[in-house]
Amino acid sequence: MKLIRLLSLTALAPLFASGALAQIAVIGGYAGCKDRDNMARVLDLADQGDLAAAQELVARGIKSQDCRVLAGDDIVFEATPPFTRIIKVHVRGNPDVYWIIQ
């Protein structure tokens, strides 16, 4: 459980880059989820200031293997839909698509 919590904090690092969330320092990395709606929900929760719920959602996704931490991987950006903060990526050599927070 501690490992999942650490990974979820690390994976949410992009959320802490600006605004009121900048007060939390974490090591870099990206949470990537195969289901775009899950990542959109993580972003919504973070925007509402409920970081505990956002971290829990990522931890659940990691446990169910819908999400993973993309840290140190060679990430290929596939698409950045206009007017969104969620982008489509894959890890080089792996065809699975993940959505991450820009």
What residues does each domain of the chain span?
2-14+28-101
Query: Two tokens at 71?
Result: 């840290």
Rounded to two decimals, what is the model's pTM? 0.69
For residue 11, the model assigns a pLDDT of 53
Q: Which of 24, 33, 75 is nearest to 58 (CA)?
A: 33
Query: Two tokens at 69?
Result: 């931490």
CA distance 86 to 89: 10
pLDDT tens for 28-50 read: 578 899 999 999 999 999 999 99
